[in-house]
Amino acid sequence: MINKIKVAFIYKADYTSLSGRHYDNCYYHFFMNALRRNKRLDIKYFPTESEFDVSILRNNFDIILLWSNANFGMPDEINGIQELDIPVIARSTDPGDAKKAIKNHKRWKIDYYFHFHSERFFHELYPSNFKYKTIIFGIERSLYQNLQPFKTRVKNKILNSGNVSNTKIFSRIINDIRNPKWNNYRCKILRTKCNELPYVYYTPTLEHDYVNDKHPLLLEKYRAAIAADTYSPVITYWEKPAAGCLTFMEITDKNKGDYIGFEDGKTAIFIDEDNYKLRFKQYLSEPDNPQWERIAEAGRIYSLENFNNDKAVFHLIDLMESLCE
């Protein structure tokens, strides 16, 4: 019988992202469901308040897993962790919070980080001696079954969803002062530009009923959708293909998004700030061309096979085992 890895997962008890009630349930399904259902793990959840004394974990666990290396969703104090000889793994926080989170590296004695960003991107934000593994998660397979057929979907509009930037000059100046690189405008340039086009249908994240587990029900309404981020691919890059959308994907030298493995013209359509209008028009000029459905279906299969939560857990287990040796 294979010994299970005993994992202590530490997070703040009232943190919405792990409650199942957040508008985006991707983190909830990975941490609260997929980890729990893997038979190689014996995971115990420690929803904390402002402080948590980890001395109770001594001799009982192989790994400490932190929800984040940032303060959001974590206890204010993790007492006794410096005296504990248990490897610590943390999900690296969003890029805009990385600078503040670095101080927790020694404070929480973090051995390894993971997230869906590339290692190159991680080390643009953190010191080179911080250890990191790319683990792409976010697709809960059960939510992406029995989708609306491609041919019955809206074909004369391209869906754009998620956060976009405020393009007003005053807002851009304030954002650049607060965070010159990792602000909403700088990170969402192309996604925002797409909304200027009459054939792009944009829906803000919280201005529709298709939140949390209902999100695929929005995506399946459209044949084509946009996934764009200036600096690094994010979950929408694999959510939209998983929902069977022909996904126009911003893949550039700047965001180096080729690490996620989609192929231009085979599993997605790559766009950038120079060619996006041309690529959109090529689709809209003949939306019934069979090639679009072939690409969408190939992208769906690729995303479901490679970025589902259960596969991601096995990649995390590989990391845990390497630290337990």
Beta bridge partners of 176: none
168 to 93, 182, 192, 202, 315: CA distances (angstroms): 28, 17, 12, 18, 42
* Residue ranges, CATH 3.40.50.2000, the chain: 141-306
* pLDDT at residue number 207: 63
* pLDDT at residue number 165: 59
* pLDDT at residue number 1: 46
How confident is the model over 204-223, as pLDDT tens digits? 866 667 888 999 999 999 99
**pLDDT for 180 beyond 70:** no
Confidence of residue 188 (pLDDT cuts 50, 70, 90): confident
Predicted TM-score of the model (pTM): 0.92
Range with the poorest average pLDDT among 138-152, 205-219, 284-298: 205-219
Average pLDDT over residues 272-296: 98
Residue 325's Cβ-count burial label (10 Å; 0-12, 13-18, 19+) is exposed
* pLDDT at residue number 171: 47
**pLDDT for 161 beyond 50:** yes
**pLDDT for 170 beyond 50:** no
For domain 141-306, give the CATH superfamily.
Glycogen Phosphorylase B; (3.40.50.2000)
Is the domain spanning 5-138+308-324 CATH 3.40.50? The answer is yes
> CA 181 to CA 114: how far, in whole Å?
22
Alpha helices, H only, the chain: 26-28, 35-37, 98-101, 104-107, 119-125, 169-178, 184-187, 189-194, 215-219, 236-242, 276-285, 290-306, 309-324
N-to-C CA span, the chain: 18
Confidence of residue 185 (pLDDT cuts 50, 70, 90): low
> CA 170 to CA 158: how far, in whole Å?
30
